[in-house]
Amino acid sequence: MLPEQHKTLSLQYLINESMLGNSRMQELLYRKFAVTMYYQCLRYLKNTGDAEDVVQEGFIKVFANLHKYRNEGSFEGWIRKIMTRSALSYLRDNKKYNYHTDIEDAHEIKEPNIFDTLAEKDITRIVTQLSPEGKKIFILHVVEGYNHREIAAILGCNESTSKSQY
């Protein structure tokens, strides 16, 4: 099967076959979402190596939990939640790294986002002034679209804390 063939197979077919342990279909499912999830993780992590590691670990979780996906909402959204939680867990477990995103390097990420209409210098200036927790909340709320109740659950804090640091 050619690498491009995953584009012609239905997503549901890839999911079903991956649940059955079909390693070729798992590889195609991985290829379909890996780049997007890499950029997802890179938003939270300090460097590309960490993002690559988290994507690998995240996909292990995806494949181990495919049976829990209930076709409620998009499959990509379901994977994004796993990747986001994996990245945040990585940050918690590796406290030697202070949470910060290299805003100067963010211009290399070509994935479209809601800030395309704002001046990059303005965004950089504002975001670099945020505390590490404030950056997490900002990214989760503005970029990822989580509400403050969801952010509180993800970060293990009170909803009011999420609101006050936003």
Q: For the segment 4-13, what is each residue's pLDDT rounded down to a tens digit? A: 554 567 999 9
**Domain span including residue 136:** 98-166
Residues 35 and 108 in one domain: no
Question: Which of these three, 63, 96, 129, is where a domain ends?
Answer: 96
pLDDT for the residue 151: 85
88 alpha carbon, distance to own chain's centre: 9
Choice between 131 and 35, residue whose per-residue pLDDT is larger: 35
Residues 16 and 65 in one domain: yes
Question: Which of these three, 96, 117, 137, is where a domain ends?
Answer: 96
Residues 71 and 115 in one domain: no
Residues 153 and 109 in one domain: yes
Are 154 and 146 in contact by the 8 Å Cβ rule? The answer is yes
Residue 118 has pLDDT above 60, yes or no: no
Residues 51 and 6 in one domain: yes
Residues 19 and 73 in one domain: yes
